[in-house]
């Protein structure tokens, strides 16, 4: 029997169907679906079926010597016992093994993990590898017709990442959590990629807080020559209001067109999608990075788009782009495909060219009705971007006008789209035309009115997910496959909320303590160096063992610094975490109102002066509580959000206002006789 191993069950099912002349037979082996066809068996894993961990002796956080943990051995533990057993049973019966997992560092490691498990029962089994970028009949059959060797160096690079992340994460997370007294499910996670990323967000917020707005004024004139338009004083911003008011006072009722400058401006079409640019584009249309990758993975497994984890921005010559475009001639994208096919198909090229996978592109057409709304949104984005990379430049006609009003120059700029070019295909965030009326030099215009508008300079904006992923890429933080996961972890750990990302007080406490006493872990240099090392492992230049030892030694130095300052770190963390519990000021006694726990474990808002002051407000029974920086005008309390995994955040708002609303609702239900038993003791309501 020839055993074929894929990364996921859905991939196994689809590949089996492609390789079989008829519908493959499905069998259950130890509770796992296996597809049998023509002397072959195809089994799908569930990603990693083993994980790196420390021996059980190190499980107790409070009893483990963290210095010892830095250099402790690691073991491989099965995470899916049923799949492991099925693999061994099938492997024992097989004469040949083909690894058909995703072709990247992680996929290679997953395949090698499976191979090593099978070798324990059949040491001499011959094994090979197939590479593909789309799960389409043509590419899958081509891949299986020309298998290649397994890349053990690539797998070793993936394994080194797992080991390094385990050691750094375990040592630093335990140290910080123990120092702060935050254990159990509320522990404070620290990681070699997560922490520098969080530092970027926190430091951006500090820039915003330190920002001092500067007032300025802008002077606008509304002019008419039959059609109205607005022009701004050539100086732009006036920092001296008196100067602007002096100019305003002398302006007359007419102006004269001093000059007209007509021009053209072209916009080059975008480059092909790599993972980072895809996630940025998805974020721009309202899809979070994590959701975009989840949907892209689904579309890839079902053969609709190519592999979504790639750094490549150049279509390889082997990619039959004409055939892909032709495949859309009988779809709702027909007019776009026809127009492209009538011209010269020369795609744009990005700066990065790799050989593992092509840029993200559509693989096969699918009908809108066959996908969910969010799936179609991502699929359409990929299709339109692909088409746009073959399109011509967008062309604009521009017009710059200078008008003299009482010796003061006012300017206006117009632009009109004359040739949509690539924007016809990729119709996202298209700039609007700014049409000026027909004008001629020397023409006298009527000044309808003049407005002096006061404004303030604005602080630097917070980072959205797409922007943050680009920064992470530029700094060498994480990989194309992990950056969106890091951001998701920051949300799940209640380090950030909202989009753009806003750090919580907990995030401040952790980053400030680390920056002061272990700055290495908050800077990208160390983790970027390790990323380079892992690339060199995959190229066979250095060994996995060397990089792991180097990483342990680096961590050892960081741990020394932290140990010397443990009491200071503890004090810093505890003070910062206390601030994250403050909801506002008690109106009865002016003490802090904080999030507290009763003896029975339920949460409530209580006064820090208890028992002298017994003011309380109830809180929902479950979910993480996020204290925002928005305050209630009536009660002065900070608004809160409740985060429950897998659900949309619940914006509770002001806890006091919410409590009053709940009481009103309860009274109405009592009058109507519809009060529920749980409402007598609980405030939580479904929203």
307 classed as catalytic: yes
3-class secondary structure, 653:
strand
Q: What's the Cα-to-Cα distance from 396 to each of 205, 323, 388, 390, 547, rounded to whole Å? A: 38, 32, 17, 19, 53
- Phi then psi dihedrals of residue 445, to 5 deg: -115, 150
Alpha carbons within 13 A on the beta-carbon side of 391? 28
- Asked, as a colleague might, if the bond just before 556 is cis with ω within 30 of 0, I would say no
**How far is Cα 504 from Cα 312, in angstroms, rounded to an integer?**
36
Q: What's the Cα-to-Cα distance from 368 to each of 296, 333, 384, 540, rounded to whole Å? A: 15, 11, 14, 45
Of the candidates 152, 181, 165, 156, the one whose C-alpha atom is nearest the C-alpha of residue 54 is 165
Of the candidates 187, 80, 126, the one whose C-alpha atom is nearest the C-alpha of residue 624 is 187
Burial class of residue 238 (count of CB atoms within 10 Å of its CB; 0-12, 13-18, 19+): buried
CB burial of 395-417 (b: ≥16 within 10 Å; e: otherwise) equals ebeebebbbebeebebebebbeb
In the chain, DSSP finds a helix count (H) and a strand count (E) of: 21, 23
**How far is Cα 581 from Cα 561, in angstroms, rounded to an integer?**
29
Q: State how far Cα 371 lies from the chain centre.
A: 23
- Phi then psi dihedrals of residue 185, to 5 deg: -80, -5
From the CA atom positions of the chain, what is the Rg in Å?
31
**Terminal C-alpha separation, the chain:** 55
The two structure tokens encoding residue 470: 């680009």
Q: What's the Cα-to-Cα distance from 265 to each of 206, 261, 387, 659, rounded to whole Å? A: 39, 13, 22, 57
Query: Which residue in 307, 315, 463, 491 is the catalytic one?
Result: 307
**How far is Cα 44 from Cα 86, in angstroms, rounded to an integer?**
11
**How far is Cα 673 from Cα 669, in angstroms, rounded to an integer?**
6
The two structure tokens encoding residue 196: 């520098």
Q: Are 413 and 434 in contact (CB under 8 A)?
A: yes
- ∠ CA 150-112-276 to the nearest 5 degrees? 80
> Could you give the residue numbers annotated as active site?
307
């Amino acid at each position: 029997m020839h055993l074929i191993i894929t990364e996921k069950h859905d991939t196994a099912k689809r590949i089996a169907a492609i390789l079989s002349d008829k519908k493959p037979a499905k069998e259950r082996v130890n509770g796992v679906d296996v597809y049998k066809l023509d002397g072959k068996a195809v089994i799908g894993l569930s990603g990693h079926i083993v994980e790196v961990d420390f021996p059980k002796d190190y499980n107790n956080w409070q009893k483990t010597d963290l210095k010892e943990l830095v250099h402790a051995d690691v073991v491989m533990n099965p995470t899916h016992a049923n799949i492991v057993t099925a693999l061994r049973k099938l492997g024992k019966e097989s004469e040949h093994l083909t690894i058909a997992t995703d072709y990247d560092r992680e996929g290679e490691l997953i395949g090698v993990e499976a191979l090593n498990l099978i070798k324990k029962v059949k040491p001499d089994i011959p094994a090979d590898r197939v590479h593909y970028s789309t799960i389409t009949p043509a590419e899958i059959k081509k891949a299986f017709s020309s298998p290649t060797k397994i890349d053990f160096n690539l797998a070793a690079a993936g394994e080194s990442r797992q080991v390094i992340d385990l050691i750094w994460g375990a040592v630093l997370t335990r140290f910080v959590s123990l120092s702060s007294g935050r254990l159990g499910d509320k522990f404070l996670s620290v990681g070699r990629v997560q922490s520098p990323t969080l530092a970027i967000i926190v430091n951006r917020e500090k820039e915003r807080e330190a920002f001092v707005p500067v007032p300025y004024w802008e002077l606008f004139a509304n002019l008419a020559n039959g059609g109205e338009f607005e022009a701004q004083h050539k100086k732009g911003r006036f920092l001296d209001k008196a100067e602007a008011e002096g100019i305003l006072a002398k302006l007359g009722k007419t102006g004269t067109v001093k000059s007209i400058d007509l021009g053209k401006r072209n916009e080059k079409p975008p480059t092909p999608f790599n993972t980072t640019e895809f996630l940025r584009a998805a974020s721009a249309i309202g899809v979070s990075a994590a959701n975009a990758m989840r949907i892209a993975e689904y579309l890839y497994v079902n053969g609709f788009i190519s592999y979504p984890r790639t750094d490549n921005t150049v279509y390889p010559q082997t990619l039959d782009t004409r055939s892909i475009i032709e495949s859309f001639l009988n779809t709702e994208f027909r007019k776009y495909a026809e127009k492209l096919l009538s011209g010269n198909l020369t795609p744009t090229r990005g700066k990065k060219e790799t050989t593992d996978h092509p840029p993200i592109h559509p693989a096969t057409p699918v009908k809108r009705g066959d996908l969910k709304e969010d799936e179609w949104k991502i699929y359409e984005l990929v299709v339109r971007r692909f088409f746009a990379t073959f399109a011509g430049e967008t062309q604009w006609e521009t017009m710059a006008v200078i008008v003299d009003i009482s010796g003061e120059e006012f300017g206006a700029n117009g632009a009109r789209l004359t040739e949509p070019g690539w924007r016809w295909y990729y119709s996202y965030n298209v700039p609007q035309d700014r049409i000026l009326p027909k004008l001629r030099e020397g023409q006298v215009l009527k000044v309808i009115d003049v407005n002096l508008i006061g404004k303030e300079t604005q602080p630097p904006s917070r980072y959205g997910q797409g922007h943050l992923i680009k920064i992470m890429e530029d700094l060498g933080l994480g990989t194309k496959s992990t950056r969106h996961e890091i951001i998701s972890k920051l949300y799940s750990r209640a380090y950030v909320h909202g989009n753009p990302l806003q750090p919580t007080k907990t995030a401040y406490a952790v980053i400030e303590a680390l920056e002061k006493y272990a700055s290495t872990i908050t800077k990208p240099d160390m983790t970027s160096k390790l990323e380079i090392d892992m690339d060199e492992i995959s190229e066979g230049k250095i060994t996995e063992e060397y990089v792991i030892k180097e990483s342990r030694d680096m961590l050892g130095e960081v741990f020394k610094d932290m140990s010397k300052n443990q009491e200071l770190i503890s004090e810093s963390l505890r003070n910062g975490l206390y601030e994250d519990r403050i909801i506002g000021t008690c109106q009865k006694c002016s003490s802090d109102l904080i999030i507290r726990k009763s003896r029975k474990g339920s949460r409530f808002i209580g006064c820090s002066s208890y028992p002298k002051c017994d003011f309380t407000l109830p809180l929902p029974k479950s979910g993480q509580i996020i204290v925002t920086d928005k305050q209630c005008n009536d009660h002065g309390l900070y608004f809160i959000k409740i985060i429950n995994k897998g659900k949309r955040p619940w914006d509770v708002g002001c806890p006091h206002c919410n409590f009053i609303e709940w009481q009103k609702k309860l009274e109405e239900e009592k009058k109507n006789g519809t009060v529920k038993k749980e409402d007598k003791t609980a405030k939580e309501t479904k929203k």
